[in-house]
C-alpha cells in the first residue's frame, strides 16, 4: 500500500454502514417472508406451496419475497437475526420461489443459439432499437426527474456492484478464474477504496440529490427492477448455474460501454455534477477493456474447461436481456405518459 492510500481524504459514511429496514409487503408471499424475519419464526412452507405455484413469476409479490430472502446473504435487515441467513425453512421457501422464477425464465428466455452467437448479437444494436432503449431516451429526451428515478432503481444493484458476480470465483479455475478475478479487482477499486464502483455510484446519487443509504429505494422499486437484481443472486448462489452467471456477466460488460456513453451524455445535457458524470465515464473506459477480457478469457476459458456449459452461458445472456427488456418497457411506458416509473414517487426531490 502506498502513502497515497494512507492519506486519502475521508469519505462520508459508506452506504452500507447500516442495515436497511424490512420492506413493506406486496402480497401473501412477501408478507410471510417478512413476518418470519421480523419474528424469527420458521415459515410454513407447505401452506405457501399453492400460492407459489400460482404466483406471477415476475410479479411484485414473488419478486419482493425472493429479493428479501436474497438480501440475507448481503447486508441483511435491521433487527433481523443474522443467523436466519441459513435457517432451513427459509432456504426451502427460497428454493421453491427460485424454481417458479427459473422455470418461467427457461421458457420465456430460452436461447435459440449457442454462446458465441448470442454474445456476438449483443454487439449489434437492431434497427429501431433507439425507440425502446432507456439510455437512448435519457440521452435524447429524458428530464432530470426521470434520470433520478433511473438512478434510484439501479441503486438496488449498483450499491453492491460486482458482489453477486464474486460468488462465481470459487466455482471457476484456471484461465477463467484468473480473468474473472482481474475484472472484479477493477470493479472493487483496484485496491483503492475511493474507486470502488459502488461508492462511485453513491457519489452519483449525491450529485442527483438522492438518498445513498443501501436499500433505501426498495419500497419504490417495481418488480421488473427487483427481477434484474434477483437474477444475479440466483445465478451467483448456485454452483449449477455458474455458466449462466458468466453469461450474465458477459452481457453486462458487452452492453455497458455504449449504454454508459449515452447516460454520461445525458447527465452532461441535464447539468449534473462531475461525480454523477464520472460513474458512467468510468464504465465507458473500464468496461471496454473488461468486455474483451470477459469474452476471450472468462467465457472462452470456461468453455475450454467445461464445454458442456455452452447452453448455460447462452441462457444467462438471454435471461439477462429478457429481464432488462421488460424493465425498459415499463420505464419508457410510464415516462412517455408523464408518470413516475416508481411505486412510490421520490420524496427527496431536491432536483426535479
Chain centroid, CA 218 distance in Å: 13
Which domains are delineated in the chain? Answer: 19-108 (no CATH), 115-336 (1.20.910.10)
Between CA 125 and CA 317 the distance in angstroms is 15
Per-residue pLDDT, 5:
38
Per-residue pLDDT, 351:
42
In the predicted model, what is the mean pLDDT of residues 32-42? Answer: 94
* pLDDT tens column, 175-220: 999 999 999 999 999 999 999 999 999 999 999 999 999 999 999 9
Instruction: Decide if pLDDT at 128 tops 60.
Output: no
In the predicted model, what is the mean pLDDT of residues 259-280? Answer: 93
Instruction: Decide if pLDDT at 1 tops 60.
Output: no
In this structure, of 40-49, 131-140, 269-278, 313-322, the range with the lowest mean pLDDT score is 40-49
Tell which residue, 242, 235, 246, 239, has the closest CA to residue 119. 246
Residue 283 — pLDDT band, cuts 50, 70, 90?
A: confident
Instruction: Check: CB of residue 184 under 8 Å from CB of residue 293.
Output: no
Residue 123 — pLDDT band, cuts 50, 70, 90?
A: confident
pTM, rounded to two decimals: 0.92
Q: What is the mean pLDDT of the chain?
A: 91
Instruction: Decide if pLDDT at 2 tops 50.
Output: no
In the predicted model, what is the mean pLDDT of residues 147-152? Answer: 98
Of the chain, the percentage scoring pLDDT greater than 70 comes to: 92
Per-residue pLDDT, 3:
35
Per-residue pLDDT, 104:
98
Residue 132 — pLDDT band, cuts 50, 70, 90?
A: confident
Per-residue pLDDT, 6:
35
Per-residue pLDDT, 15:
72
Grid coordinates given for 191? 485496491
Per-residue pLDDT, 348:
57
DSSP string, 124-177: SPPTTGGGG-HHHHHHHT--HHHHHHHHHHHHHHHTTTTHHHHTTGGG--HHHH
Per-residue pLDDT, 112:
95
Instruction: Check: CB of residue 263 under 8 Å from CB of residue 201.
Output: no
Instruction: Check: CB of residue 32 under 8 Å from CB of residue 43.
Output: yes
In the predicted model, what is the mean pLDDT of residues 97-125? Answer: 95
Per-residue pLDDT, 48:
82
* 3-class state of residue 24 by DSSP: coil
* pLDDT tens column, 232-269: 999 999 999 999 999 999 999 999 999 999 999 999 99
Which residue's C-alpha cell is 443501501? Answer: 214
In the predicted model, what is the mean pLDDT of residues 61-73? Answer: 98
Per-residue pLDDT, 285:
76
**Helix axis angle, 88-108 relative to 223-237, nearest 10°?**
110
Q: Which stretches within the chain are classed as H helix?
A: 3-6, 28-39, 45-54, 60-71, 88-108, 115-122, 134-140, 144-158, 163-166, 174-187, 197-207, 223-237, 242-270, 274-293, 300-305, 310-336
Better pLDDT: 129 or 26: 26
Amino acid at each position: 500500500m502506498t502513502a497515497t492510500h494512507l492519506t486519502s481524504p475521508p469519505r462520508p459514511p459508506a452506504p452500507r454502514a447500516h442495515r436497511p429496514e424490512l420492506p413493506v409487503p406486496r402480497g401473501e408471499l412477501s408478507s410471510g417472508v417478512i413476518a418470519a424475519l421480523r419474528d424469527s419464526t420458521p415459515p410454513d412452507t407447505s401452506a405457501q406451496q399453492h400460492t407459489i405455484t400460482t404466483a406471477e413469476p415476475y410479479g411484485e409479490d414473488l419478486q419482493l419475497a425472493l429479493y428479501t430472502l436474497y438480501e440475507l446473504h448481503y447486508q441483511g435487515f435491521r433487527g433481523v437475526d443474522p443467523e436466519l441467513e441459513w435457517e432451513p425453512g427459509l432456504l426451502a421457501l427460497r428454493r421453491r420461489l427460485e424454481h417458479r422464477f427459473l422455470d418461467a425464465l427457461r421458457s420465456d428466455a430460452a436461447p435459440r443459439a449457442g454462446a458465441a452467437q448470442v454474445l456476438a448479437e449483443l454487439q449489434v444494436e437492431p434497427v429501431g432499437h433507439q425507440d425502446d432503449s432507456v439510455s437512448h431516451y435519457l440521452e435524447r429526451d429524458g428530464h432530470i426527474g426521470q434520470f433520478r428515478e433511473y438512478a434510484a432503481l439501479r441503486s438496488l444493484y449498483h450499491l453492491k456492484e460486482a458482489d453477486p458476480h464474486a460468488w462465481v470465483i470459487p466455482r471457476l479455475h484456471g484461465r477463467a478464474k484468473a480473468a474473472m478475478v482481474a475484472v472484479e479487482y477493477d470493479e472493487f477499486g483496484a485496491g483503492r477504496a475511493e474507486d470502488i464502483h459502488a461508492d462511485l455510484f453513491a457519489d452519483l446519487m449525491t450529485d442527483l440529490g438522492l438518498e445513498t443509504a443501501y436499500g433505501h429505494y426498495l419500497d419504490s422499486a417495481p418488480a421488473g427492477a427487483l427481477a434484474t437484481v434477483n437474477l444475479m443472486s440466483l445465478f451467483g448462489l448456485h454452483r449449477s448455474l455458474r455458466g449462466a452467471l458468466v453469461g450474465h456477466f458477459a452481457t453486462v460488460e458487452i452492453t455497458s460501454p455504449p449504454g454508459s456513453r449515452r447516460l454520461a451524455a445525458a447527465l452532461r445535457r441535464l447539468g449534473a455534477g462531475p461525480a454523477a458524470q464520472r460513474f458512467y465515464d468510468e464504465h465507458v473506459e473500464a468496461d471496454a477493456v473488461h468486455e474483451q477480457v470477459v469474452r476471450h478469457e472468462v467465457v472462452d476459458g470456461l468453455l475450454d474447461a467445461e464445454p458442456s456449459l455452452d447452453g448455460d452461458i447462452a441462457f444467462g445472456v438471454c435471461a439477462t436481456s429478457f429481464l432488462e427488456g421488460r424493465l425498459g418497457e415499463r420505464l419508457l411506458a410510464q415516462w412517455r405518459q408523464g408518470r413516475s416509473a416508481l411505486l412510490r414517487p421520490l420524496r427527496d426531490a431536491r432536483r426535479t
